[in-house]
Structure 1
Amino acid sequence: MRKVVLGFILVALAAAGGWQIYLNMQPAPLPSTPAEKPAPPEGFVLPTLSVTAELGERSFDENCIACHGAYGLGTENGPPLVHRIYEPNHHGDIAFLMAVRNGVQAHHWTYGNMPSIDGLSEQEVANIVTYVRALQKANNIF
C-alpha cells in the first residue's frame, strides 16, 4: 500500500512539475497599449480629444508616427503635420486621404516622396485628420 501511495505522490509531483514547465514556456502576453510616447516639447499644447480624435490618435500612432513623429511634430523621415503648411485652408482634409491613397510627391519639404499607405479605411483616415486638426487648433494652426 505504501508503494502505491508513494507512486501516486511521485506521479502527482511530476505532473505538477510538468505543468509548471509548460506554463513557463508560454509566451508572455502582448502589451495591451503601445509604448508611451515622449512628452511633447515645452509650449506644445495637448488638447482634450474627442472620441473620434482618440481613435485617430491610435491610428496615427500605428501608421504615421514613424515619419510624422509623436503628436505630428515630424522626424528626420517626414515633415511635421502640426505646421502652418498643413492648415485646413492650405491642405484640406481630403488632401490627407489622397496622400494616404496615392502617396505624395515631395513639394514643400526635402524628405522625399511619401508612399501610399495600405490598409487604412476612409474612416480611419478621417479619424486621423480629426486628431491632427485637434492638435493644430490647440497650437493655433487653423
Structure 2
Amino acid sequence: MKRERLTIAAAAAFLLLSIVGAAQAQSMKIPKPSEGLMPNPGRGKALYASHCSACHGADLKGSDKGPPMLHKVYEPSHHSDVAFQLAAARGVRAHHWQFGDMAPVPAVTPDDVAHITAFIRAEQRKVGIQ
C-alpha cells in the first residue's frame, strides 16, 4: 500500500514538473527578424566587424577571446540561424569551447543578426561549410 502511494506521488510530481517545464518553454520568445527582411551579407559584414570580430576574429577564424565561425561546429545543421539570434539576445553558456560564456549583445537587433548570419553563412560556404 505504501509503495503504491509512493508510486502515485512520484507520478504526480513528474506530471507537475512536466507541465511547469512545458509552460516555461512555451513562454520563451525567440527573436525574429522583421517579416520580409532580405538578409544582406554586405551589411552583415560591416555589422560583424563592429559587433563580433573582437572575439570571433576579423577573419572569422576566432581569437583568444572567442571561437571561430569558420568551423564545422557552426554549420547550419548544428547551429541554426535561430541559434545566432538566441546567442545575441541571451548570450550563451560555454559548451563547445573554453572561452567562457558569451554575454548577450544588446546593441544588435534581430534584423542585424540576420544580416550578420547571412555574412557568416556566405563565408562558411566559401570554405566548404554547408
Supply the AA of the counterpart residue of 1:125.
V
Correspondence for 1:92? 80
Which runs of 4 or more aligned residues in structure 1 lie more than 2 Å from their structure 2 counterparts after TM superposition?
none
Aligned length: 92
TM-score normalised according to structure 1 size: 0.63
1:13 — aligned with what? none
Identity %: 39
Q: Does structure 2 conserve the Cα–Cα contact (< 8 Å) formed by 1:59 and 1:124?
A: yes
SS in 2 for 1:116: coil
The equivalent of 1:137 in structure 2 is 125
Task: In structure 2, list runs of 5 or more residues that go unmatched.
Answer: 1-38
Gaps of 5+ in 1: 1-50
TM-score (norm 2): 0.69
Q: CA–CA distance in 2 between the matches of 1:93 and 1:71?
A: 20
Residue of structure 2 in register with 1:106 after alignment: 94
Q: 1:6 maps to what in 2?
A: none
Shift of 1:71: 2.5
Rounded Cα–Cα distance in structure 2 between residues aligned with 1:102 and 1:76: 22
What is the CA–CA distance in structure 2 between the aligned matches of 1:86 and 1:126, rounded to whole Å? 15
Q: Map Cα deviations across residues 32-75 of structure 1 (whole Å, 9 max, x no partner).
A: xxxxxxxxxxxxxxxxxxx8101000000000000000121100
Q: Does structure 2 conserve the Cα–Cα contact (< 8 Å) formed by 1:71 and 1:135?
A: no
Name the SS for the 2:47 alignment partner.
Answer: helix
Query: Could you tell me which residue of structure 1 aligns to residue 57 of structure 2?
Result: 69
* Partner residue, 2:111: 123
Alignment partners' CA distance in 1, 2:120 and 2:65:
18
- 1:83 and 2:71 are equivalent in the alignment: yes
